[in-house]
Amino acid sequence: MQTKTVNNQKHQRSINNAFASHFAKSMFLAVSGLAILTFIGTRMFTHVDLNLYGYMVGTIIFLGGFFYRFISWGERPPTKLLIKKGMKLLFRKSTPKTTVNHLAVYEFIWNRGIYRWTQHILIGWGCILACLVTFPLVFGWMYFTMDDTGYYNIILMGMEIMTVPADGIIANLSYNALNITALMVIAGVSMALYRRIKNMQARAEQTILYDFLPLYMLLLISITGLALTFMNVFLHGVGQPIMSLIHQWSVIITLIYLPFGKLAHIPFRPLSIFARNYREHYAEQSMKKCNVCGNEFVSDEQSKDVVAVLGINQIEFQTKEGHHLAELCLPCRRKYRIAQFSGFPTHDVKVKEANQNAKG
Amino acid sequence: MKKRLYIELENCIGCRSCLAACTQCGGHEERNRNYVYDVNPLVNRQTMPLMCLHCVNPACARSCPAQAIQVHETGAVLSALVEKCIGCQNCTIACPYGIPKFDTEQNLMYKCDLCIDRTKDGIPPMCASVCPTNTLQWLTDEEIANRKKQFNMDNGKWISSMPYLEGETNVKVNLPGILQGITKLF
Ligand code: HEM
Ligand code: SF4
Ligand code: SF4
């Protein structure tokens, strides 16, 4: 057992040594992956749409920012620990349900307010659907061909997956997919902007760079996208090349900005599934009893992990009674502090904490 | 002029105005984020507030895997960013004073942000604005130093940090002389 782990470590180190850093390695793997997929999808580069070249460059710059940001994130002790344990617990029975709930349905945002939920469904799903259409087009993973017979072929990864009448519902939906998603995003962003102007709660903390910039960028992308359609359909393409450039530019800037601002939550949010699995799994294993009152309040594992993470940060909350403060349940920990102030052991009086819910 | 929250613990009469005022601050969604405790509930009526002390090296933020807890340039340790908090509850376990609250339904942690929309402009936080007994005050460092002199305690115990707290904090706490059997001179 011992030797095996040592060997594994050596092995890993030797692969990692081939690259200057994690960053170089991830970047290399991702760009190679994209290139291979593109090679296959475009039937050996025979179907590249050069109008979309800007997006390709944008995506690659985005990947650079993304890995830079997320690798340094992953090195923080609590993040590293959660990722490591979350990976191990990925295949719990509840994972599919948690995933759908956290990443697609957003029940927890619903509980924050129906307005906020509607706004996020529109923005989130508008963007996700738009990406599902755009990226395969950009990298040539998906394209369309038209038969003389008035039928329309959808080709995914070099394979014909569907042949539909050119004026049918599916064909119309797919021509208009990006228009529909643009309308969704515009509606959602307008709701968000309205809330940010009207709602005192939102106004309290917002800043232009963090809260407004992403909204304006999404708005710009959607409006220029719709304008493209408008110019094609009603103006016979007048102004289309310039608008196309503005649109491309706004998408690229947003992609580059994404890992650094508010939108960084998109690639990071899947960790909420790790967190849920972590809490569920270790709570089933064994619960930590409060060192003062004996109530179970968190899993043993999490209590130990938090103590360890604080330790790495040189934070030790050792009490003179020999506990770590993270081993006390929350009410006892608060009473323990009152006891430090007053000199009277409040936490040892077996009385539930008094009314803490004064309403305004 | 930079001001701080300054707490004179034993002035507290347990009216819970601070909790009620807390619910009314912009960004607090009508939920209070602080605590008021009976010191010796079966024997007397002495109470003390327990607020987030806005640690200089905040354990809550250090333990957060999502970097959802940001430290404002004023030193205030903010509530979780709504789009970042992934609901792990590490922060609630890490805080040495048990301050952060967690809403399971919303999968979101919320805590005292020192009413950042007010204090960033030098306006006192809600709790200090309403406290009828000067338990919670909004003072400059100079005023706090004067307070210390005025109390005339040369045992160094008045402005408490170590060993009564676990680390340096931006909020200053005044140890209760009465309960320690020391007379305080007003
Ligand atoms: C992967 C799934 C996603 C999850 C779990 C998620 C989660 C969240 C959460 C919890 C919030 C805070 C909402 C609130 O409390 O009001 C939020 C806000 C936001 N999300 Fe997402 N998100 C996801 C995907 C996306 C996508 C794909 C976009 C599109 C670009 C997006 C754009 C936004 C924007 C713009 C806000 C801020 C809205 C505002 O200004 O109030 N999200 N997200
Ligand atoms: S008192 Fe607790 S919640 Fe407040 S800053 Fe310190 S660790 Fe964070
Ligand atoms: S509950 Fe939210 S704020 Fe607290 S540590 Fe976890 S992710 Fe961070």
> CA torsion A149→A150→A155→A160, rounded to 10°?
-40
> Can you give the residue ranges of every domain in chain B?
3-151+158-174
Give percent of chain A with pLDDT exceeding 90: 37
Question: Quick check: A40 pLDDT over 50?
Answer: yes
Nearest Cα of chain A lies from the Cα of B142 at a distance, in angstroms, of 23
List the single residue in B with minimal CA-CA distance to A80.
Answer: B65
CA–CA gap between residue A59 and residue A65 (Å, rounded):
10
For residue A104, give the DSSP letter: I
Selection from A67, A53, A69, A58 nearest residue A23 by Cα: A67
Selection from B149, B164, B152, B184 nearest residue B53 by Cα: B164
> Does the complex come out with an ipTM higher than 0.95?
no
pLDDT value at residue A198: 83
What kind of architecture, by CATH, is found in domain B3-151+158-174?
2-Layer Sandwich (3.30)
For residue B163, give the DSSP letter: B
Question: Quick check: A254 pLDDT over 70?
Answer: yes
Residues 6+ apart with CB under 8 A from A202: A195, A196, B27
**Residue A11 pLDDT class (50, 70, 90 cuts):** very low
The 10s digit of each residue's pLDDT in B167-184 is 889 998 887 666 555 555
Cβ <8 Å between B97 and A334:
yes
Question: Quick check: B16 pLDDT over 80?
Answer: yes
Question: Quick check: A9 pLDDT over 50?
Answer: no
The 10s digit of each residue's pLDDT in A51-106 is 667 777 788 888 888 888 888 888 899 999 999 999 999 989 899 999 999 999 99
Nearest Cα of chain B lies from the Cα of A183 at a distance, in angstroms, of 23
Average pLDDT over residues A21-35: 72
Nearest CB to A360; choose among B24, B89, B93: B24
DSSP SS3 for B172: strand
Give percent of chain A with pLDDT exceeding 70: 82
For residue A360, give the DSSP letter: -
Number of CB atoms found within 10 A of residue B47's CB: 20
Between β-strands A142-146 and A287-289, what pairing exists: parallel, antiparallel or unpaired? unpaired
Which tokens is A274 given?
């790790």
Question: Quick check: A13 pLDDT over 50?
Answer: no
> CA torsion B170→B117→B84→B86, rounded to 10°?
70
Q: Whose CA is nearest to atom 8 of ligand 2?
A: B60
Q: Whose CA is nearest to atom 9 of ligand 1?
A: B83
List the single residue in A with minimal CA-CA distance to B56.
Answer: A315
Placement of tokens 């819970």 in the chain: B16
pLDDT value at residue B177: 62
CA–CA gap between residue A222 and residue A185 (Å, rounded):
7
Question: Quick check: A111 pLDDT over 70?
Answer: yes
Question: Quick check: B152 pLDDT over 60?
Answer: no
Burial string for B92-111 (b: 16+ CB within 10 Å, else e) reads: bbbbbbbbbbbbeebbbbbb
The 10s digit of each residue's pLDDT in A187-214 is 999 999 999 888 766 676 777 888 899 9
CA–CA gap between residue A297 and residue B93 (Å, rounded):
9
**Report field, pTM of the whole predicted structure over 0.90:** no
CA–CA gap between residue A187 and residue A218 (Å, rounded):
11
CA–CA gap between residue A228 and residue A235 (Å, rounded):
10
DSSP SS3 for A272: helix
Which tokens is B18 given?
């601070």
- Phi then psi for residue A160, to 5 deg, are -75, 120
pLDDT value at residue B51: 93
pLDDT value at residue A21: 67
**Strand order through the sheet with B159-160:** B136-140, B3-8, B172-174, B159-160
Neighbour-count burial of A228, counting CB atoms closer than 10 A to its CB (0-12 exposed, 13-18 middle, 19+ buried): buried
The 10s digit of each residue's pLDDT in B26-45 is 878 888 899 999 988 888 88
The 10s digit of each residue's pLDDT in B77-132 is 999 999 999 999 999 999 999 999 999 999 999 999 999 888 988 899 999 999 99
Residues of B in contact with A354 (CB under 8 A): 36-38, 41
Q: Out of A109-113, A243-247, B56-60, which region has the weakest mean confidence (pLDDT)?
A: A243-247
DSSP SS3 for A266: helix
Higher pLDDT, B43 or A161: B43
The 10s digit of each residue's pLDDT in A292-343 is 988 999 999 999 999 999 999 888 888 888 889 999 999 999 999 988 887 7
**Residue A220 pLDDT class (50, 70, 90 cuts):** very high
Higher pLDDT, A154 or B38: B38
